Structure 1
Amino acid sequence: MDIMSRGPRKGAKSQGDTATREAEVVAAAAELFARDGYAGTSIRDIGEKVGLLGGSLYYYIRSKEALFVRIHDDALQTAEDRIRAAIEGVTDPNARLATACRTLLAIQLDPNSLTTPLMNDFRSVPGNVREQLVERRDAFEDLFRDLVREASLPAGVDREVYRILLLTTLNSAASWYRPGRLSLDEVAQQILRTYSIT
């Protein structure tokens, strides 16, 4: 019998099993980071949540730092993909910016979204990790930089300051928004009116 035609060794992990287990580790870590923060989550905590000892856990991850960066990057990529899908086909520059703002607001107010808790934990991570997060966040904000550059804004508005204020308001929404008096769409409209694009 040809050695290449044999099945996997006893105890060996198939690629599918490894990918599934790795996804479980990432999901568990994301939940813990969102709930307890970077500093409050240990490798042991993650291992216990998925039933792996520390040594076995490192089969699936390089380090706590790398895992946090991966989850942060995945969350921002998911948000960016959702915003790009929302503005696809919208041709008016102001309508594109308004749609992107409404979509980001919905993401930030989604209780299952990771973007808010991971962004709020920004200052507690080590400096080398923070540098990687800043690089990815800057890439995400390029989307809004482009949208603001193309929008029709009142004369004299500094577009960089405008973008920073707009994103600060949207990204902090989870800390001040309370459901009830205004719907999410009405809040989005108020933010957009404040920033003079509707």
Structure 2
Amino acid sequence: MTAIPPTKPNPTREDEVLAAAAALFAERGYAATSIRDIGERVGLLGGSLYHYIKSKDALFVRLHDAALQGAEDRIRAAIEGVDNPARRLAMACRVLLAIQLDPESLTMPLMNDLRAVPEGVRAQLIQRRDAFERLFSQLVDALPPHPGRDPAIYRILLLTTLNSAGAWYRPGRLGVEAIADQILALYGIDG
């Protein structure tokens, strides 16, 4: 789930709660979204809402984890069967950039709230983010060695570039593919 959960033909009440919470967190952020707001969006009172969720923190972590898992699943599907390490990394970068620039994506709004969440929640989010980044560590480590390039720094800078694109990108002059081409060229990724 990298985007706000789609409407199912017969959504359960829990699906409605998740979709409302995802939309509110994306629109307002963690701090400005309350359990009451989520309940009002789906027409449930607080007590009834707790039947579907444990807490605001647990709900935020659940949505964050689902968004990252959805992104990881899309990337893994895209690179499946690609043997060339540079092409695998290029494809992973293209998919992640497309996710980050998708206006319906939850990954950026949820990750942007990292500093707004309580410390215990932040630790859980960072742990999940680190697990996601291991995919990129493996892809970077599979590249042929490059003199003077530290793979960890390279990966961090590459992911920072991809993850921050949503903050500056505006549709118009260049499309997502052209921007991906520019980023790949900047990092010397042939793919």
What's the TM-score, normalizing by structure 1? Answer: 0.89
2:49 to 48, 57, 62: 57
Residue matched to 1:92: 84
Residue matched to 2:39: 47
Q: Report whether the alignment pairs 1:138 with 2:152.
A: no
Residue matched to 2:8: none
Which structure carries more relative contact order (alpha carbon 8 Å, separation 6+)? 2
| 1:41-76 deviation digits (Å, cap 9, x = unpaired) | 000000000000000000111000000000000000
Contact 1:152–1:197 (8 Å) recurs in 2: no
Contact 1:25–1:60 (8 Å) recurs in 2: yes
Deviation, 1:152, is: 2.6
Which residues of structure 2 form unaligned runs of 5+? 1-10
Residue matched to 2:157: 165
Whichever residue aligns with residue 94 of structure 1, its letter is A
- Structure-2 change in CA distance of 1:98 and 1:153 (3 Å): farther
Q: Report whether the alignment pairs 1:26 with 2:18.
A: yes
Residue matched to 1:101: 93
Deviation, 1:96, is: 0.0
Which residues of structure 1 form unaligned runs of 5+? 1-18
CA RMSD of aligned residues (A): 1.0
Residue matched to 2:58: 66
What's the TM-score, normalizing by structure 2? Answer: 0.92
Which ranges of 4 or more aligned residues in structure 1 deviate by more than 4 Å? none
Q: Report whether the alignment pairs 1:178 with 2:170.
A: yes
Computing the radius of gyration from Cα coordinates, the structure with the larger value is 1
Deviation, 1:153, is: 4.9
Contact 1:145–1:160 (8 Å) recurs in 2: yes
Q: Percent identity?
A: 69
Q: How many residues align?
A: 180
| 1:134-182 deviation digits (Å, cap 9, x = unpaired) | 0100000000000000013531100000000000000000111122222
Residue matched to 1:112: 104
